[in-house]
Amino acid sequence: MAEVSEKQTAIIGAGVMGEALLSGLVRAGRRVDRLLVGEKRAERARELEDRYGVAVVGNAEAAAKADTLALVVKPQDMGDLLDEVAPRLRAGQLVVSLAAGITTGFIESRVPEGVAVVRVMPNTPALVDQGMSTISPGSHCTDADLAEAESLLASVGKVMRIPERQQDAVTSISGSGPAYIFFVVESMIEAGVHLGLPRATASELVIQTLTGSAAMLRETGTHPTVLREQVTSPGGTTASALRELEIHKVRAAFLAAMEAARDRSRQLAEGS
């Protein structure tokens, strides 16, 4: 098992993704006294203190005390947050941003010289330690900084290093991807109900089919086209279904949807 980092780490913004990261770090064996959380709402702060035994402090205090700061606020809140914490930051600290579309350049222009920046695109399966995170270094980031960011995200799933120019495309696959999969699951359950199955039966069938298919992809390493062909007998039931998906241009819809997500990520970057 990888050595657990002893660096003081602060998570600022403990919403869905921030809490996923916090809980993953605790499960991965990070000492709670080496973790800090920056959270504005008193009620939410108490909830996190009770649930994880972690200290919740003001953002400025978190910025001053931490070696590594994970910023997990919405992209549109990032400018205000950086204005708030920048005066407390110093060279040698590491800022890891999990916000969609926020570039390392944007962050570097707002923090003191010598603060290392890493950009991450995580996804929500991090909640169950099955996340997929991509990380990209900023302009003055050492290998040790990148390794520290990697170990942070490795507590909630897989991590891949990619060039920052690929982050917008990645956002449209793994960042937003869980929503597409849930959309497909919802659609199949609804269809099952239309075909007369009880909702609970349809749900169980769809969820197990999804997890079984994912396990096949992962464990066999076989190309998805080959796996699909194995289920598609000539003139059979699956072939009839797939024909309808082609007629309804589902493949083209995925391309258009993912282009839209990529473009929105770029827009967020331009707006920031």
Binding-site ranges for ligand NAP (CB under 6 A): 12-18, 38-41, 59, 72-75, 77, 80-81, 98-100, 121-124, 175
In angstroms, what is the minimal distance from the CB of 90 to ligand NAP? 20
Do the Cβ atoms of 149 and 140 come closer than 8 Å? Answer: no
End-to-end CA separation in angstroms for the chain: 39
Please list the alpha-helical segments (H only) found in the chain.
16-27, 42-52, 59-65, 78-85, 104-108, 143-154, 167-170, 177-194, 199-220, 224-231, 237-247, 250-271
Which residue's CB is nearer to ligand NAP, number 43 or number 143?
43
Residue 8, Cβ density class (10 Å: 0-12 exposed, 13-18 middle, ≥19 buried)? middle
Residue 11, Cβ density class (10 Å: 0-12 exposed, 13-18 middle, ≥19 buried)? buried
Which among 111, 105, 108, 95 has a CA at the least distance from the CA of 38?
95
Which residue's CB is nearer to ligand NAP, number 17 or number 141?
17
Which residue's CB is nearer to ligand NAP, number 126 or number 206?
126
In angstroms, what is the minimal distance from the CB of 177 to ligand NAP? 9
Which residue's CB is nearer to ligand NAP, number 39 or number 145?
39
Backbone angles phi, psi at 132, to 5 degrees: -130, 115
CA distance 202 to 171: 30
In angstroms, what is the minimal distance from the CB of 199 to ligand NAP? 26
Which residue's CB is nearer to ligand NAP, number 17 or number 95?
17
Which residue's CB is nearer to ligand NAP, number 124 or number 232?
124
In angstroms, what is the minimal distance from the CB of 111 to ligand NAP? 15
In angstroms, what is the minimal distance from the CB of 215 to ligand NAP? 23
In angstroms, what is the minimal distance from the CB of 123 to ligand NAP? 5
Which residue's CB is nearer to ligand NAP, number 66 or number 121?
121
Q: What is the DSSP letter of 174?
A: I
In angstroms, what is the minimal distance from the CB of 2 to ligand NAP? 23
Residue, CB closest to ligand NAP: 15
Which among 206, 24, 217 has a CA at the least distance from the CA of 129?
24
CA distance 160 to 150: 8
